[in-house]
Amino acid sequence: MDVFRTIEVRIAEKHGAIAKGTRKSIGDFLLNDDIKRPVNVKSNNLDKNNYSPNIISAKRLIKWLKQEGNELFFIFVDYKLTENGPKIFRDSGLIPVHNLSWNCLTIEAQGWGVIQMCKPLEVDMNQDIKGFLRGMKNAYETYMRKEARKVEIIKEMIKDF
């Protein structure tokens, strides 16, 4: 079992669940087997420089949140590798997606855009889903401006072909 999977299994067990997420699922495990309450575990090796880790596809998150009653939680885990496998140093506990502050998130180019953590985790317990989505709209607008500039540069580069 790889390190990420080991961590997912441990965290799921801690929450009385079974880690059975796949690459196609939105979460690594479900809270109380509730299909509308998945949990996505994000692990960070403290011994490495993990620059702007991917959190989730922006398009996928939008599609998920547009469905009535759907929720999504994250758990951020800091670990180090030891001779006995990964040792967890910090576990953020369950954080509803809408409490993630856009002060620590960005949308960058990968497919339709991927939400990345560009700064240390910041949680805003006063932010509701509407506030989160407004922040996402602003981040997407910034992303689209950057992509439009890139397209113009590419047009200029290839204009004489």
> Quick check: 141 pLDDT over 80?
yes
Q: What is the pTM of this model?
A: 0.89
Q: Is the pLDDT of residue 96 over 90?
A: yes
**Full domain range(s) for residue 91:** 3-158
Maximum C-alpha span of the chain: 62
Residue 4 binned pLDDT confidence (cut-offs 50, 70, 90)? confident
pLDDT value at residue 49: 82
Question: How many domains does the chain divide into?
Answer: 1
Task: Residue 34: give its domain's CATH number.
Answer: 3.40.600.10
Q: How far apart are CA 142 and CA 105, in angstroms?
A: 12
Helix (H) or strand (E) holding 5: helix 3-14
